[in-house]
Amino acid sequence: MTTPVKTNSSSRSATGRMAAVQEMAGLQRMLFEIEREFVRTATTLVYRVGDIELKYLICQHVWESAGHARFLRERGREMSGFGKDESVRESYRSIFEEAIRVEDPLVGLAGFYGVLKPALLAAYRHYLEATHHLADWPSRKLVEEFIADEERHLDEIIPSIEKIDLGEWGEHLSEALDAIGGWLGERPATPLPEGFKWTHLDAPYEHAETCNRGDFPVCSSVFGHNPDEDPIVREWLENPDTDARVIRLMVYVWLMMELDAVDYLATIFYDTPDAPFELHYDLARHLWDESRHSAFGFRQLPRLGVDLKTLEHSLDLYNILVKMSPPERYAMMTMEFEAGSFPVKANVMDRVRELSDFEADTLLAFDRNDEQQHVRYGHRWLPEIMKLHNVEGPVDAFVEATKKRFEEMAEIHGGKTPHSLMPERRLTGNKLLALARIEI
The three state secondary structure string of 6-44 is: CCCCCCCCCCCCCHHHHHHHHHHHHHHHHHHHHHHHHHH
Please indicate whether residue 48 or residue 438 has the higher confidence score (pLDDT). Answer: 48
The pLDDT, as a whole number, for residue 437 is 82
**Where are the chain's structural domains?**
19-201, 218-438
The predicted-structure confidence for 190-242, as pLDDT tens digits, reads as follows 999 999 999 999 988 999 999 999 999 999 999 999 999 999 999 999 999 99
Query: Distances from the Cα of 237 to the Cαs of 89, 250, 416, in angstroms?
Result: 51, 8, 25
Q: Inter-axis angle of helices 429-438 and 244-256, to 10 degrees?
A: 130
How far separated are the first and last CA of the chain, in Å rounded?
A: 61
The pLDDT, as a whole number, for residue 15 is 63
Among residues of the chain, what percentage have pLDDT more than 70?
A: 96
Domains 19-201 and 218-438 alike in fold: no
Has residue 439 got a pLDDT over 70? no
In angstroms, the CA 352 to CA 371 distance is 18
Q: Write the DSSP string, 265-329.
A: HHHHHHT-TTS-HHHHHHHHHHHHHHHHHHHHHHHHHHHTT--GGGSPEE-HHHHHHTTS-HHHH
In angstroms, the CA 426 to CA 231 distance is 9
Report yes or no: 381 and 285 within 8 Å, Cβ to Cβ: no
For the domain covering 19-201, report its CATH number: 1.20.1260.10
CATH says 218-438 is which class? mainly alpha
Q: Which of 105, 271, 88, 99 is nearest to 199 (CA)?
A: 99
The pLDDT, as a whole number, for residue 19 is 86
In angstroms, the CA 410 to CA 415 distance is 8
The pLDDT, as a whole number, for residue 42 is 98
| Residue 224 phi, psi dihedral angles, 5° rounding | -170, -165
The predicted-structure confidence for 61-86, as pLDDT tens digits, reads as follows 999 999 999 999 999 999 999 998 99
Label residue 3 exposed, middle or buried (CB < 10 Å: 0-12, 13-18, 19+). Answer: exposed
Has residue 181 got a pLDDT over 70? yes
CA angle 241, 246, 250 (to 5 degrees): 120
* Chain-centre distance for alpha carbon 401: 27
**Which helix (H) or strand (E) is 374 found in, with range?**
helix 358-388
The pLDDT, as a whole number, for residue 260 is 96
The predicted-structure confidence for 361-407, as pLDDT tens digits, reads as follows 999 999 999 999 999 999 999 999 999 999 999 999 999 999 999 99
CA angle 307, 313, 318 (to 5 degrees): 160
